[in-house]
Amino acid sequence: MSSQKDIVSLRRKIQRHEYLYYVADSPEISDQEYDKLLKELQELEAAQPELITPDSPTQRVGGQPLSKFAAVVHQQPLYSLDNVFSPAELAEFDARVRKGLGADEVEYICELKIDGLAISLTYEQGLFTLGATRGDGKKGENVTENLRTVRSIPLRLPEPLDIVVRGEIYMKRSEFNRLEGFANPRNAAAGSLRQLDPRITAARNLDMFCYGVLAGQRTQEEGYQLISRLGFKLNPHRRICRGLAAVQAYVQEWASRRKELDYDMDGVVIKVNSIQDQQTLGFTTKFPRWAAAYKYAPEQAVTRLEAIDIQVGRTGALTPVARLTPVELNGVIVANATLHNADEIKRKDVRVGDEVLIQRAGEVIPEVVGTVRSPDGAGANRSSQFVFPRNCPACGAAVLKDTEDEAVWRCPNADCPARVRGALRHFVSKNAADIEGCGEQIVEQLHRAGLVKTPADFYYLQSADLLELERMGEKSVNNLLEAIERSKNAGLARILFGLGIRHTGQFVAAQLANKFHSIDKLLAASEAELAGTDGVGEVVARALYTALAAPELREILRRLQKAGVVLSDNREQVSDALSGQTFVLTGSLPTLSRGEAEALIKSRGGSVSSNVSKKTSFVLLGENPGSKYARAQKLGVPVIDEAAFKKML
Give me the torsion for CA of 308, 309, 314, 315, rounded to 10°: 50
**pLDDT tens-digit series, residues 356-414:** 999 875 445 788 988 886 555 545 578 888 999 999 999 999 999 877 777 889 999 98
- Taking the C-alpha atoms of residue 491 and residue 519, their distance in angstroms, rounded to an integer, is 10
Pairing, β 618-621 against β 582-586? parallel
- pLDDT tens per residue across span 438-459: 888 899 999 999 999 999 999 9
84 or 35, higher pLDDT:
84
> What band does 515 get if pLDDT is binned at 50, 70 and 90?
confident
Q: Does residue 574 register a pLDDT over 60? A: no
Q: In the predicted model, what is the mean pLDDT of residues 254-263? A: 87
Radius of gyration over every alpha carbon of the chain, rounded to an integer in angstroms: 27
Q: Characterize 471-493 residue by residue with b for buried, 16 or more Cβ atoms within 10 angstroms of its Cβ, and e for exposed.
A: ebeeeebeebbebbebbbbbbbb
Exposed / middle / buried, residue 446 (Cβ in 10 Å: 0-12, 13-18, 19+): buried
Distance between CA atoms of 38 and 46, rounded to whole angstroms? 12
The H-or-E segment that residue 267 falls in is strand 265-272
Please state, rounded to an integer, the average pLDDT across all residues of the chain: 85
Point out which residues pair with 618 in neighbouring strands. 583
CA distance 23 to 100: 37
**371 contacts: CB under 8 Å, gap ≥ 6:** 348, 349, 350, 351, 354, 355, 356, 357
pTM for the model: 0.54
Rounded CA separation 632/619 (Å): 7
Instruction: Indicate the residue type of 527.
Output: E
- For the four alpha carbons of 96, 99, 102 and 103, in that order, the dihedral sign comes to positive
Q: What are the two backbone dihedrals, phi and then psi, of residue 45, each rounded to the nearest 5 degrees?
A: -70, -30
Q: What domains are defined for the chain? A: 4-60 (1.10.287.610), 83-295 (3.30.470.30), 298-411 (2.40.50.140), 417-562 (1.10.150.20), 582-648 (3.40.50.10190)
Helix/strand/coil for 82:
coil
Q: How confident is the model at residue 22 (pLDDT cuts 50, 70, 90)?
A: low
Query: Under 8 Å CB-to-CB from 182, ≥6 apart: which residues?
Result: 176, 188, 191
Q: Are 202 and 145 in contact (CB under 8 A)?
A: no
Our answer to whether residue 113 is catalytic in this structure is yes
Give me the percent of the chain exceeding a pLDDT of 90. Answer: 41
Mean pLDDT, residues 299-326: 92
Pairing of strands 582-586, 332-338: unpaired
DSSP annotation of 595? H
The region of weakest confidence among 213-217, 492-496, 557-561, 595-599 is 595-599
Q: Which long-range contacts (CB under 8 A, 24 or more apart) does 382-388 make?
A: 382/351, 382/353, 382/354, 383/351, 383/352, 383/353, 384/351, 385/346, 385/349, 385/351, 386/308, 386/320, 386/345, 386/350, 386/351, 386/352, 388/310, 388/318, 388/320, 388/342, 388/345
pLDDT the model gives residue 21: 67
Contact 285, 279 (CB under 8 A): no
Q: Phi/psi class of residue 352: alpha, beta or left (left: φ > 0; alpha: ψ in -120 to 50)?
A: beta
Sign of dihedral through CA atoms 478, 484, 488, 493? positive
Phi and psi, residue 384, nearest 5°: -70, 160
Quick one: average pLDDT of 116-130?
92
Phi and psi at residue 129, in whole multiples of 5°? -115, -20
Q: Give the residue with greater pLDDT, 103 vs 60.
A: 103
By mean pLDDT, which of 108-122, 272-286, 482-496, 507-521 is the weakest? 507-521
Question: What angle is formed at CA 25 by the lines to CA 20 and CA 28, rounded to 5 degrees?
Answer: 50
HEC secondary structure over 535-579: CCHHHHHHHHHHHHHCHHHHHHHHHHHHCCCCCECCCCCCCCCCC
For residue 437, CA distances in Å to 419, 479, 566, 606, 645 come to 21, 8, 21, 31, 32
How confident is the model at residue 84, as a pLDDT?
92
Q: What is the average per-residue pLDDT within 204-209?
A: 91
Query: Can you tell me the distance from the alpha carbon of 149 to that of 197, in angstroms, rounded to the nearest whole number?
Result: 11
Range with the largest mean pLDDT of 129-143, 260-274, 620-634: 260-274
Alpha carbon of 556 to those of 381, 494, 543, 552, 559: distances in Å? 53, 15, 18, 6, 5
- Residue 396 phi, psi dihedral angles, 5° rounding: 90, -5
More confident residue, 643 or 426: 426
Burial of 613 (0-12, 13-18, 19+ CB in 10 A): middle
Q: What is the pLDDT of residue 363?
A: 47
How far is the C-alpha of 565 from the C-alpha of 498, rounded, in Å? Answer: 13
Question: Residue 122 in contact with residue 131, Cβ under 8 Å?
Answer: yes
- Per mean pLDDT, which range of 56-60, 178-182, 548-552 is the poorest? 178-182
Q: Tell me the CA distances in angstroms from 518 to 498, 544, 557, 572, one per residue in order.
A: 16, 16, 12, 8
- Cα 536 off chain centre by: 25
Phi and psi at residue 28, to the nearest 5°: -105, -15
> Of 5, 68, 113, 430, which residue is the catalytic one?
113
Statement: residue 111 has pLDDT above 50: yes
The amino acid that residue 513 corresponds to is A
291 forms beta bridges with 271
Percentage of residues in the chain having pLDDT higher than 70: 92
Type and span of the H or E element at 128: strand 127-133
Contact between 458 and 452 under an 8 Å Cβ cutoff? The reply is yes
Q: Give the three-state DSSP class for 34.
A: helix
